[in-house]
Structure 1
């Protein structure tokens, strides 16, 4: 390979940085070409790009912190003695289903502490739902990610209604002002858009994982790092034992949320999902875009954002699933296998809520969960 460079002697000093860059790039290109000369189908540009990335990654690896090993004492796992035999603990795609007794919180906490994980918890306190914030935060301080770094993100149209809180070390609360909507369905569906936008604008810089839940709930037992994964969903407490034909998926083929009766794994609740910021961004971006497509066709999925969430999880399988322990309503009869109720619906004056919604032309015949 021959490289010819013509210089203006008067301005030679100005061109030296440029010349050095050209020579460096040519050297890398020639090195890559030599190593791939036996592969006549090798894409030279891709190999050149890979060389650049390899240099950057090598520099990055040198900056990684060393691992400090700590001694831990716990019972030996026994492969002949499963921790739970009364419930499904693993999906066909090897995603664990989290139940009480299926994990060791001491081991998990030690692992996540070494990674210096920061968790974001999002809730929407729109209109009258601002009244639930105090109970939500106070119980979260007792039971949610105790000992971990946590940022509470409160989306609300009533900033002045959000009380001040004394939080534990390593925890903070951020209030994000958002518009109100006349219809409760719009409030529900716009959550996906707002989480998506904030994931891109700030969450990606501030936290490692996002946990997105309903605000009209209270924590009543431990919810820790055992829930964290690439992307996770939660089994709906009204459908954990139902067949796929009984799931209230969106059944109209015209909707982007459509799921036929011969498909479906589980029915996931819209009130508890999460994962890494990147994966939550992908999920919420899909759901919002799908809603906008349906809106153009004047279609509204049967259970709004929950319907689109279920469509996403059908084809983009969650890497972990939370059992109904993590989302429960005491109006349901408690099954024998449910050992703990970690996150439960707050008792409410349903008549007041029903009256407000009926004024907007919507009849509400059930409580917290729609079935």
Structure 2
């Protein structure tokens, strides 16, 4: 029988040569694609090595507070996350965050402190656009912002009552979400302007849709929550329902989810307005109704919304976003109380 060994010996070098040529062609193709993408502004990045302690499932990060809801939404507390890991993940996604505030009438005086403290503590190192809704464009000062950050002033109508300002912001956020936010940012964070940042607030808060525990009700029972209790209102929540009481001064999520939330709240308000009903805590009441049936995907602890008039509990390790002391009557109704400054708590009721 004729041996096949000479043929194999003759065939092997050609096979190796073909493999070499294929690899060479693939390499040349990859270099061409990479060069072309770079010319079009597309970048390729390697994941840098990051060193951190191995998570230990037998050693929870916090045992003094609730860190997970029954529907598996995390509750964000100091010590429950790694900022370096989260920042790396969001940088890879090239995330852009929008921060909205309403500076209507005399509330424009709070803008400077708000922006200056946000530059120090809010989403440091991330792309941020500040959206200032105001009826006093000329009262908004100019700011020198960090790289990747900008400020846009949106002129809106003034309202006689502060309650109308509070409720109409849901309509304005909804409309701008559809008209411009969806094209300009990935996430929206909606907060009150009469506040100051005093510690880090970063990407750990971002999620599909998030709410914040109210600093006055984090340990209260659902019967004590100041929900709207009148069945005639679309914000009505029965006494045997409810998970948490959420503050109206800090919520957010993706633009699409914030649109859904604000659209619900505004439409519910309009239904109640036809009935001549005004929910007990205005837009906050409708926000709580929405979150009862559309559960938030993440919840922020009272670290993210605090009033220093409250006694500080032992579990509160950081105060990240704090109310600015003010005279509510002078700010809301333009009348001074005979020159006396009353530092009433923002969240006292």
**Alignment TM-score, normalising by the size of structure 1:** 0.78
- 1:191–1:14: structure 2 CA closer, same or farther, 3 Å change rule? farther
Residue 160 of structure 2: aligned partner? 182
Partners of 2:108 and 2:136 within 8 A in 1? yes
- 1:34–1:305: structure 2 CA closer, same or farther, 3 Å change rule? closer
Query: Secondary structure at 1:155's aligned position in 2?
Result: strand
Partners of 1:29 and 1:48 within 8 A in 2? no
Residue 9 of structure 1: aligned partner? none
Partners of 2:199 and 2:319 within 8 A in 1? yes
Q: Which segments of 5 or more consecutive residues in structure 2 lack a partner in the other structure?
A: 1-14
2:337 and 2:109 map into 1 onto residues whose CA distance is 20
1:198 and 1:15 map into 2 onto residues whose CA distance is 62
1:360 and 1:296 map into 2 onto residues whose CA distance is 39
**Alignment TM-score, normalising by the size of structure 2:** 0.83
- 1:101–1:365: structure 2 CA closer, same or farther, 3 Å change rule? closer
Q: How many residues align?
A: 335
- 1:288–1:359: structure 2 CA closer, same or farther, 3 Å change rule? farther
Partners of 1:354 and 1:364 within 8 A in 2? no
Q: Deviations over 1:224-243 (max 9, x none)?
A: 00000000000000000000
- What is the CA RMSD across the aligned residues, in angstroms? 11.0
Q: Deviations over 1:174-193 (max 9, x none)?
A: 00000000011000000000
Q: Deviations over 1:271-313 (max 9, x none)?
A: 0000000000000000000000000000000000000000000
Partners of 1:230 and 1:279 within 8 A in 2? yes
Larger displacement relative to structure 2 (214-223 or 22-31): 22-31
Partners of 2:214 and 2:245 within 8 A in 1? yes
- 1:131–1:254: structure 2 CA closer, same or farther, 3 Å change rule? same
Partners of 1:257 and 1:308 within 8 A in 2? yes
Partners of 2:330 and 2:336 within 8 A in 1? no
Point out 4+ residue stretches in structure 1 off by more than 3 angstroms. Answer: 13-19, 22-49, 353-366
- 1:45–1:171: structure 2 CA closer, same or farther, 3 Å change rule? closer
Partners of 2:325 and 2:345 within 8 A in 1? no
Q: Deviations over 1:92-112 (max 9, x none)?
A: 000000000000000000000
